Structure 1
Amino acid sequence: MAGRRGILCAAVILALASGAPALAQSDAVNVYTYREPGLIQPLLDRFTEETGIRTNVLFAADGLIERVAAEGELSPADVIVTVDIGNLANAKELGITQAIAGETLARVPDQYHDPDGQWVALSLRARVFYASVDRVTETALTYEDIAGPEWKGRLCTRSGLHAYNIGLIATRIAHWGVEQTRDWLTGVRDNLNHAPTGADRDQVKAIFDGSCDLAIGNTYYMGLMLTNDAEPEQKEWAASARIIYPDADGDGTQVNLSGAVVAKYAPNKANADKLVAFLLSDEAQHLYASGNYEFPVVESVEPSELVASWGVLTADTTPMVEIAAHRKEAAALVDETRFDEGPQD
């Protein structure tokens, strides 16, 4: 987080402390991001090459949206790039966003941007099943299926309270309502091999180790593992599993997103608009697809060759704002069912 990438630090503190206008620079745009620098920096570098506009980047794993709210009118943030619909909805609820240009929003399907234009998706990630190559014969499954008795002791996943699983549960509430989703979540809990633990890559390792046969995870982790030359053991984990897109012939596979907002008090508003528009250009969408193994949100752009080899994604079309509206109910169900304690019968 240092050096030529221009990460905001002392300059931000000085601007806030002095009460001076926050980093208004005609040749720069200030980006607060939850996305790891390694994932987003190639896109920002390309943006600078094309426009001459420098990008000052502040990365943090959490707390950036709350930070912008606390900074108020003195915030140096121009654009906030984040993962998960919950973060985008939270930014809007806190009143730290402003409308994105209509021509930019028009690049993506309606369900992938805020009806009021306060946020827009940049890429999609699907919540799928990792299936053991050796021990799972099924080629098509639904989310409902994994609560069935045939999967007793064969499932694994990360915490139900993680944003990725909350999004999945919230989508089931949108389709089924709270009561049916509670029953389903209870069945999934009791089919787990062990209490939820680790992250999505750990679930693939559990398949490799034989601890479980089917796991819930995001597609792009499979791409990251299959191409991980620095940790070749992850290639072995990934080779032990294949991807099944749940509900491919029904409601469609649940997707979440990465997205962006233009900050309410952006000191470099024109540059912020240019950056968001660039991130939704065909060029940037191809970079997302090839570098991060995510799905482009612009429909005319194809996924990478590796992602395409896993099959065709039929995405659930439930509007993201509806999924966001059910997140509190989803978290309450995780607590009520004691999902993170694992099997209870």
Structure 2
Amino acid sequence: MLRLTTALTAIAIAAPALAQEVNLYSYRQPELLAPLTDAFTAETGIKVNVAFLEKGMVERLKAEGARSPADLIFTVDISRLAEAVDAGVTQAVTSEALAANVPDAYHDPEGHWWGLTTRARIVYASKDRVDPSEVTTYEDLADPKWQGRICTRSGTHSYTIGLVSAMLHHHGEEYTKTWLEGVKANLARKPQGNDRAQVKAIWSGECDISLGNTYYMGQMLTDPEQQDWANSVNVLFPTFENGGTHVNISGVAMTAAAPNRENALKMMEFLTSPKAQQIYAEANYEYPIAPGTEPDALTNSWGTFTADDVNLMTLAALRADALKLVETVDFDG
């Protein structure tokens, strides 16, 4: 399903590119991007047309080919960024501004995608039933002390695959398989639901800890129906035994077709700027990565962490192996 916020269909069949426009395909809903797109237009005079896609971005770009109206793609997971690069629907882009704003760990070494903000994959832990000192590493989640106490979403979800890929990077296949088996043995129920559903399960007493992304805490705290869930848990930042806290990323890439390439580059440079990253981080409870930027006060109140420093494309290259291991141990079974 594709919901258009502007007439991209008309753009697709128009012959010349419009000089003061840039067209964005996004997996994030337009209202979540509005603070960014409005600020960019106010600063540059360039209009931003956003098309929200629920799924199938790569397939759409491949089908459109050189006629695609899209200049940029915006997505919220390294596996989706890597998928687009692998499919050949992006192009390499670099500039002094991009290089200055985005640390090496958070962009494609070849320049095909550039990170904007990060989110940590953390542990939500019951305030009543879990001492925060009990949860220090991801490896510890396989310890039998957690038997019947863990809730999580599907093992095949991209967030889970990202974490498993990181475990593979740090420990190799044999260890990761044993770890997955241990975590599965500790589940309180079959993997199901999204990250917020796991926090609700902790609140209701079904389990004591769960995995989740940090920004969901902000979303729950600002939703009256979910505030009790959020207030029932602590946010804990585990690390790998030989690394930091696992993070994922929001990122942007220029399409291979990009009819408004100059405008698209201007928008990429704006999106990676400290000003724009600060806007987006505050609106979505994420962590800006540009030098000199800080999370908003609420996000900062959850605590600090040291992000794992592996380049995310390294993890993306392991995602097929990670999925194979998840299926081998029948994690969702």
Q: TM-score, normalised by structure 2?
A: 0.95
**Aligned equivalent of 1:122, options 116, 123, 126:** 116
Gaps of 5+ in 2: none
Distance 1:97 1:13, change over 3 A: closer
Q: Distance in 2 between matches of 1:224 and 1:183?
A: 34
Counterpart check, 1:42 vs 2:38:
no
Alignment partner, residue 148 of structure 2: 153
Counterpart check, 1:138 vs 2:132:
yes
Determine if contact 2:23/2:71 at 8 Å carries over to the other structure.
Answer: yes
Deviation at 1:124, TM superposition (A): 0.4
Aligned counterparts, 1:171-190, within 5 A: 171-190=166-185
Determine if contact 1:88/1:259 at 8 Å carries over to the other structure.
Answer: yes
Determine if contact 2:105/2:310 at 8 Å carries over to the other structure.
Answer: yes
Alignment partner, residue 240 of structure 1: 232
SS of structure 2 residue aligned to 1:55: strand
Aligned counterparts, 1:4-43, within 5 A: 6-12=5-11, 14-15=13-14, 20-21=15-16, 24-43=17-36
Determine if contact 1:102/1:117 at 8 Å carries over to the other structure.
Answer: no
**Deviations 1:125-144, CA, capped at 9 Å, x for gaps:** 11000000110013341001
Deviation at 1:227, TM superposition (A): 1.5
Q: Distance in 2 between matches of 1:320 and 1:10?
A: 34
SS of structure 2 residue aligned to 1:89: helix
Q: Distance in 1 between matches of 2:332 and 2:291?
A: 36
AA at the equivalent of 1:206:
A
Deviation at 1:14, TM superposition (A): 3.6
Q: Distance in 1 between matches of 2:56 and 2:124?
A: 31
Counterpart check, 1:107 vs 2:129:
no
Q: Distance in 2 between matches of 1:334 and 1:288?
A: 33
Q: Distance in 1 between matches of 2:35 and 2:44?
A: 14
Determine if contact 2:130/2:208 at 8 Å carries over to the other structure.
Answer: yes
**Aligned equivalent of 2:162, options 149, 164, 167:** 167
AA at the equivalent of 1:278:
F
Q: Distance in 2 between matches of 1:212 and 1:205?
A: 9
Determine if contact 1:99/1:119 at 8 Å carries over to the other structure.
Answer: yes
Alignment partner, residue 202 of structure 1: 197
SS of structure 2 residue aligned to 1:98: coil
**Deviations 1:209-253, CA, capped at 9 Å, x for gaps:** 00000000000000111122xxx1201100000111001885111
Aligned counterparts, 1:92-103, within 5 A: 92-103=85-96
SS of structure 2 residue aligned to 1:159: coil
Alignment partner, residue 261 of structure 2: 269
Determine if contact 2:274/2:293 at 8 Å carries over to the other structure.
Answer: yes
* TM superposition outliers: structure 1 runs of 4+ over 4 Å: none
Counterpart check, 1:259 vs 2:251:
yes
Determine if contact 1:8/1:57 at 8 Å carries over to the other structure.
Answer: no
Alignment partner, residue 53 of structure 1: 46
**Aligned equivalent of 2:310, options 292, 307, 318:** 318
**Deviations 1:14-38, CA, capped at 9 Å, x for gaps:** 44xxxx45xx111100000011222
Moved more, 93-102 or 197-206: 93-102
Alignment partner, residue 328 of structure 2: 336
User: How many correspondences in the alignment?
Assistant: 330
**Deviations 1:278-324, CA, capped at 9 Å, x for gaps:** 11111111112211001102132001111111111210111111100
Gaps of 5+ in 1: none
AA at the equivalent of 1:204:
V
Q: Distance in 2 between matches of 1:317 and 1:173?
A: 15
Determine if contact 1:135/1:213 at 8 Å carries over to the other structure.
Answer: yes
Q: CA RMSD in A?
A: 1.6
SS of structure 1 residue aligned to 2:185: helix
Q: Distance in 1 between matches of 2:126 and 2:291?
A: 31
Aligned counterparts, 1:269-288, within 5 A: 269-288=261-280
Q: Distance in 1 between matches of 2:241 and 2:279?
A: 29
Q: Distance in 1 between matches of 2:240 and 2:296?
A: 20
AA at the equivalent of 2:307:
A
Identity %: 50
Deviation at 1:97, TM superposition (A): 1.3
